[in-house]
Amino acid sequence: MESSSQRGEFDYLFKLLLIGDSGVGKSTLLLSFTSNTFEDLSPTIGVDFKVKHVTVKGKKLKLAIWDTAGQERFRTLTSSYYRGAQGIIMVYDVTRRETFTNLSDIWAKEIDLYSTNLDCIKMLVGNKVDRESERIVSKKEGIDFAREYGCLFLECSAKTRENVEQCFEELVLKILETPSLLAEGSAGVKNNIFKEKPPQSDASTSRCCSW
Ligand code: GDP
C-alpha cells in the first residue's frame, strides 16, 4: 500500500470504522496510520473521521476512517455511524481482558444490529503488543475469536507502528476482492457523497458528516 498525496482523482471511496472500548487505542491507531506519529492522546473527543489516500494494486483509494469521537464510552453509537461502511476494525487491548470479552458481549451484537451491509469486511485487531510483559489476552484467543466470528485478525502496536499499515492493508485488500463493496466504493465516487475539507497535511480531519 502506497500513501498518495494526490487527492483530486480516485477510483474508489471506502468508509472504514474503528470500534471497541474506550482506551484500547483506536485514535492512536488512526493517527499512527494517517500521520505516522504516536502521541499520548487524551480521550478522543470531536474528531469524527480522517481521510487517507492510498494506492493499492494500482487502484487509487480514498479511505474515510471513522473514529468514535469518545461516544463509545456512553454506548451512544447509532446506526448512522455504521451506515455505509465497507470495513470495520474491532480493536481490543491485549493487556485488558474486558476489552476483549466486550467485543463478543457488546460490540459484535451492535454490529449485527446496526451494520446493514452483510458483505462488510470485519477485522479483529489486538493492540498494544509492545507491552508484551503485561499481556493478558493470548494471540491464540484472538485467532480463535476471529475464526469463530469469521473476520480477519492481526495484532499490532499503534505506539511502535508494528503491523499498523498491515491492518488497514489487509482490510482494504479484502474489500477490493468483494464485488458488492467495490460497486459501493465506486458509487461513492460518482455520487460525490463525501466532501472533504481542504487538507492541511497528508491526512485531513473533518467534522462534517455527509455520508
Ligand atoms: P481510544 O479511546 O480507543 O481512542 O484510545 P486512545 O487512542 O486514546 O489510547 C488510549 C491510551 O493508550 C493512550 O494513552 C495511548 O497513548 C495509549 N496507547 C494507544 N496505543 C498504544 C500502543 O500500541 N501501545 C501503548 N503502550 N500504548 C498505546
pLDDT in tens, 3-39: 765 556 889 999 999 999 999 999 999 999 988 665 6
| Range of weakest confidence among 20-29, 60-69, 126-135, 188-197 | 188-197
User: Cα angle vertex 80, ends 19, 62, to 5°?
Assistant: 70
**For residue 198, what are the CA distances in angstroms to 50, 201, 205, 206?**
12, 9, 9, 9
ipTM over 0.95: yes
**In this prediction, what percent of the chain has a pLDDT beyond 90?**
58
- Which residue owns the Cα nearest ligand 1 atom 10? 23
Q: Which residue do the cell numbers 500513501 mark?
A: 3
- Please tell me the distance between residue 159's alpha carbon and the centre of ligand 1 in angstroms: 8
Q: Which residue do the cell numbers 463493496 mark?
A: 181
Question: Mean pLDDT across the stretch 154-163?
Answer: 96
- Please tell me the distance between residue 73's alpha carbon and the centre of ligand 1 in angstroms: 15
Residue 16, H or E segment: strand 12-19
- Please tell me the distance between residue 96's alpha carbon and the centre of ligand 1 in angstroms: 12
Which residues line the pocket of ligand 1, CB cutoff 6 A? 22-28, 40-41, 43-44, 127-128, 130-131, 157-159
pLDDT(42) > 60: no
- Please tell me the distance between residue 181's alpha carbon and the centre of ligand 1 in angstroms: 30
Nearest to 188 by CA among 77, 66, 64: 64
- Please tell me the distance between residue 5's alpha carbon and the centre of ligand 1 in angstroms: 27
- Which residue owns the Cα nearest ligand 1 atom 24? 128
According to the per-residue pLDDT averaged within each range, which of 58-67, 71-80, 190-199 is highest?
58-67
- Please tell me the distance between residue 28's alpha carbon and the centre of ligand 1 in angstroms: 6
Residue 192's pLDDT is what?
54
- Which residue owns the Cα nearest ligand 1 atom 6? 25
The dihedral through the CA atoms of 36, 37, 43, 45 has a sign that is: negative
Q: What is the mean pLDDT of the chain?
A: 84
- Which residue owns the Cα nearest ligand 1 atom 12? 25
